[in-house]
Structure 1
Amino acid sequence: MTTEAPSEFTNLETLPTAELLAGMNRLDQTVPQAVARALPQIGALVEATVARLQAGGRLFYIGAGTSGRLGVVDASECPPTFGVPAGLVVGIMAGGDGAIRQAVEGAEDNATQAWVDLQAHNVSAKDVLVGLAASGRTPYVIGGLTAARAAGLATGCIVCNAGSGVAAAAEFPVEVVTGPEFITGSTRLKAGTAQKLALNMLTTATFIRLGRVKGNKMVDMQLSNEKLVERGQRMLMDELGIGQPEAAALLARHGSVRAALGALGKA
């Protein structure tokens, strides 16, 4: 696994802060290039996800450690950003929700638990499962993908090594090969960044395709704080050519930018 290959940097403990940061930054600049090479694979996974969600399915993530936490973050950000129901995108961690904050020893080595965790959500062949594993060898993820694929779910993955067991278990694998880390084997660094970028692409492109963005605006976002209310008002002001008081009144009356535009025949 290239993610476990020795770092090109040595004697890190002897380096001044400026050199540590410069070295990390130099390696981080290679991550978008690795993601770019995987764009065709990401595109195939987006198309599969759009098709399943259009047919009434849901998107699930499974993973352990940093990879699992990134899936939980991405899933939790979809409702406020795109106004979708909370259960449409679901992140599941090896070891349960407690593992989001504190590692659960050995949880990722259980090859049967992921399918048990998924069955608690009544998954079906309408759904999509994406396994997240920087190493590409996590038993929890391989077992979950294998069982899900046998049950008819669309399966994808985001891994950071080529030719992995996780990729072999998925119908739509995404391999973002990021190479050795700054600290040998610390995949919360480049690999984690690459997975975050790929997840951003997956859900953003999917929900744009599903009509959750108008132009370049998040017209279905949840108005859950003052910043977002002000953003919604600016959207209406720009779209309708009106002032802030009128935009504020429209937003308060209709509850979302899309609903306000729709009431005026502009959605």
Structure 2
Amino acid sequence: MISIQNLSFSYRKNKPLFEHLNLQLEAGHIYGLLGKNGAGKSSLLKHMAGLLFPQGGSCKVQGFDTFRRQPAFLQNIFMVPEEFYLPPVHIKNYLSTYAPFYPNFDRKAFGSYMEEFHIPQDQRLTEMSYGQKKKVLISFALATNTKTLIMDEPTNGLDIPSKSQFRKVIAAAVSDEKCIVISTHQVRDLDNLIDSIVIIDNHRIIFRQNVEAVTEKLCFKTVSSIDDAGNVIFSDSSLRGHTVITENGGLEHSRIDMELLFNAVLEKSERITQIFN
């Protein structure tokens, strides 16, 4: 579905953002793209959407070179950017203008998503708050029924109930033919949603595993004393005690803590790599 090979890119000379970056993403999954500020998450998504062009290597989506921006490619991919603009028009006018670009657009599904988000369809976009506009754009994105859906910080601007609604509609939208990639700093918003984790750091992909593989090899738990936790790989202390990651030698079942895993991968990269290799 998405094939990136030896991708190199920089905004400034002698300061590469990507160096020979490789990544393969398949249909039927919701990928969480994680990384520190400035790691290149948004730039990588823009390469997938054909908004940035590789300076070396290739980026292909559904077999298309994304930089060519061919109509057959553009009608089957949609990106929800972190910063967006919606024109000052009525929602129905927005649909009549933009929906025809997507042959599989489903107006009935759009209405259902809007109902789920509690957004009335009989108003102008300028009458809405930022969070409401974001929900309109997410509803539109899902209704396009594109095979590739890319979202950059989609939960920014959403209140707590809306984040729950977001997880619900995204989970319902996944199919064996669709690849969804979500980049976020708010990793706890995705804990129960994504099934594969991609972490980018130091110009390259340093971690790429599905959630099932992670929970098979690692155990996440909270203990009162680190000494009682066993072979601790990484820990974080709070008022509740110590949240730790240990090797899962006994095939113990645990719920993944995405934020803890992210920090562990960054700080204990070599040991994590050894475990998964």
TM value normalised by structure 2? 0.30
More strand by share: 2
More helix by share: 1
Determine which structure has greater relative contact order: mean sequence separation of CA pairs < 8 Å that are 6+ residues apart, divided by chain length: 1
